[in-house]
Structure 1
Amino acid sequence: EKAGAKGTVAMSGGIKSWTPKWNDPIYLEKLDNFNRAFAERYDGKPWVSYIDIGSIGEWGEGHTHFSTKVPPTVDEVKANIDIFLKNYKKTQLVCTDDLLYYGKQDADVKTLYEYATANGISLRDDSPLVDWYLQNNLNTWSVSHPRFYDPLYLKKPIVFELQHYGMVKKDGNWLGKNGAEKIAKYGYSGAEVLRKAIETMHATYIGYHGYAEEWLADNPDLTNELANRCGYWYFPVSATYDSVLNIGHNEISINWLNKGIAPAYNKFGLVFRFESKDPANSFETKPIDSGNKNWLPGISKTENYQIEIPASTKKGVYTLKFKLIDQSQENLLIQIGIKATQTDASGFVELGIISVK
């Protein structure tokens, strides 16, 4: 405002606020300057999972319920999206669903949805378990626009954020340990609705929008369950390989099952380890494509891996092991659904005993 950007003063609940005209040239210039500097510092950092497009509306959620109550136009939304697209070339961009549909006709919603997704932007919903949405969208587990996320989740990670946890409790929509008690007026427990909402959206990232101490004290078991369930959750079901392997070319097959609700969006490498009683003879194969981006939720998939045993390998008995790694994250170990007793200190999972001749 002080820089000369056009805007509107509004009063809501006794609070005075100033809302910019979202495509005002001065406003966009300042927004561009900020994001240029922010991107220089954070874009592409491996520990930044995504960046929100949060420059329009209350809390950056794309709506103006508590200010002007005037929704942003299609042109205003596009102008803001373009600033983010201009500055962030590496990190995943995400926008809230409200930014695309708040106060808009179906044709405009379609235009903005296609514009965002065609430019590689993913989506988030911050409203599940809001009481109004429970009342009006219980058939879709309080998710207002389930069509936004399927099939988008097959290509991009979806972000889920619960209604303020304290408010969910205040509204009577979270009862008992782990939210397991049924809410009489809805016929489901809060935890049931939460599970189904996360599944409906195929969410990779989930948040409870509250204080960690309170959430964890109330929901210790549910936390562990949902941490596994969101995104991908890989289980090696079975493996097929010859008990005697030869120097040179060999094949090992593993059947995988994804018990999560989404695919992974990075390609993970698979490393085999041949472990000898004499450490000097042990060796590991170079990472190969595990095929994990094809492991869709609820579907088992058998991968046939072609490996080469070096000519320098000593003949004898080896313990065959494997592990998954994310090479884009400094060979980060990918934890899979396997008992801890079946993994070693380096994260390798034992398959069995083989001989090399």
Structure 2
Amino acid sequence: WGTLEPERGRIDTALLDKELAAARQAGQKLAFRIMCCSTYRRQPYHPDWLEKIGGRVVTTRYGADPLPLEVPDLDDPVVLEAHLDFIRRLGKRYDGHPDISHIDLGSVGWWGEWHMSQSSSLKMPTLETQRRIVDTYLESFRKTPLLMLIGGGEMLAYAVEHGCGWRADCLGDMGGFSRSWCHMRKGYPGWLIEAGALDAWKHAPVAFETCWDMRKWVDEGWSLRYIFNYALAVHASAINNKSAPLPEGEHVRAEVERFLRRLGYRFVLEEASYPAVVASGDSLEVAMRWRNVGSAPCYRPYRVAFRLRPSSRQNATFVHATKITVDDWMPGEVEVFTESFLENPPDLPPGPPAECRAEVPLPADLPAGSYTLDISIVDNTIKPVVQLGIEGRLPDGWYPLGTVRIAR
């Protein structure tokens, strides 16, 4: 919070805009979370102006560290109103930003993770305060997906009920903290079932952060196939491995690549048919069968588009974006958290076929001749934004289907 609002009422948009530009340049999207409570004594997360306006900042200790930490009291009316105002202004500026993938619904607890574990004296804010914070995020970010932290308890259920996805720490923990308890078998199932969050993936993303990183998994002898199949089965869209290198091992890279090929949505065009000849001014009809072989839907209404690329350079290229959107092309499903699932999560099957038919209206003055018909999935700027699970991708993101002759 303090980094993004160094002065009361002024968001450091230059900082966030720089990160968004870097993500765009790398062909990625940015996800972030707001944090208020830091466990680092010399790096507090709240603004230094908070006490100057009468906000209550309290001290506590974290774990065995004897040194005091300063954290804001979100139950204090001055602190709460200042933070809610910050969220509203952040949403006014960045809601729906095309370079933002999702935002963690953070703010509360250590690192914005909705718990105060190992605090010597502080408890979580009241449920009333928690609800006000969740409601403000929901009101401020109506276009950008919000992900609630899995440790949010009642607020996880509340946020999911209002359209949020969820995010979980410690993917891969198969017993690193206890011989009798682990996140994968004892933590996630209970939390998600209790919150009614098993189907949240159908309308908002699921994201994971690894426990330690993948090197720890391999060192402990935990099965990569088990962990990855588990994440795919609960329909994860994103994973944060903390920028750590991959573990050493003969089969590690193959397992990771297998996982990444299915993480999130992955669209395969299985079949496409269209007439060999069509007249200018008529419609080119294309019948298609698509399949989502990934683990999650696409949460943006990207559209199927076609391009006619003339053999003669003297003729212009014609592009048409259809009304066919990809956000309802669903992945396959398996029953999760049964005894057999927790023993050995199965491979996620591919999704059902998505059959559709497009009519591409051709201009009446389209010159006769031979054209290459290309296909892609585009955003509102008619820019290809999805790498399909098929071969033939051109440098500009389009995929050639074949040739068609335009007659006059």
- 8 Å contact 2:304–2:326 — kept in the other structure? no
Partners of 1:286 and 1:120 in 2: CA distance: 32
CA displacement at 1:13 relative to structure 2: 0.7
Partners of 1:12 and 1:199 in 2: CA distance: 34
Q: Deviations over 1:293-326 (max 9, x none)?
A: 2211122211111111221122333222211112
More helix as a share of residues: 1
Partners of 1:24 and 1:37 in 2: CA distance: 20
Equivalent position of 2:201 in the other structure: 153
For residues 157-172 of structure 1, the aligned pairs below 5 Å read 157-165=205-213, 169=216
- 8 Å contact 1:134–1:142 — kept in the other structure? no
Partners of 1:55 and 1:126 in 2: CA distance: 16
Aligned match of 2:385 in 329, 333, 339? 333
TM-score (norm 1): 0.80
TM-score (norm 2): 0.70
Q: Return the letter of the residue paired with 1:116.
A: A
- 8 Å contact 1:161–1:206 — kept in the other structure? yes
The answer to whether structure 1 residue 227 and structure 2 residue 277 are counterparts is no
Equivalent position of 2:358 in the other structure: 305
For residues 119-198 of structure 1, the aligned pairs below 5 Å read 119-130=162-173, 131=175, 132=177, 135-136=180-181, 140=185, 143-144=188-189, 145-147=191-193, 148-165=196-213, 169=216, 173-175=217-219, 183=221, 189=223, 191-198=224-231
Partners of 2:179 and 2:403 in 1: CA distance: 54
CA displacement at 1:156 relative to structure 2: 0.7
Partners of 2:81 and 2:285 in 1: CA distance: 57
Equivalent position of 1:352 in the other structure: 402
CA displacement at 1:69 relative to structure 2: 6.8
The alignment covers a number of residue pairs equal to: 327
Equivalent position of 1:5 in the other structure: 56
Gaps in structure 2 of 5+ consecutive residues = 1-49, 332-350
Percent same amino acid at aligned positions? 24
The alpha-carbon distance between structure 1 residues 193 and 24, as it changes in their structure 2 partners (threshold 3 A), is farther
Q: Tell me the SS of whatever aligns to 1:279.
A: coil
Q: Tell me the SS of whatever aligns to 1:320.
A: strand
Partners of 2:364 and 2:211 in 1: CA distance: 59
Partners of 1:228 and 1:142 in 2: CA distance: 27
- 8 Å contact 1:160–1:205 — kept in the other structure? yes
Aligned match of 1:60 in 103, 112, 115? 112
Q: Tell me the SS of whatever aligns to 1:57.
A: coil
Q: Return the letter of the residue paired with 2:308.
A: F
The alpha-carbon distance between structure 1 residues 88 and 252, as it changes in their structure 2 partners (threshold 3 A), is closer
Q: Which consecutive segments of 4 or more residues in structure 1 shift more than 6 A? A: none
Gaps in structure 1 of 5+ consecutive residues = 102-108, 176-181
Equivalent position of 2:325 in the other structure: 291
Equivalent position of 1:179 in the other structure: none
Equivalent position of 2:286 in the other structure: 252
Q: Return the letter of the residue paired with 1:275.
A: R
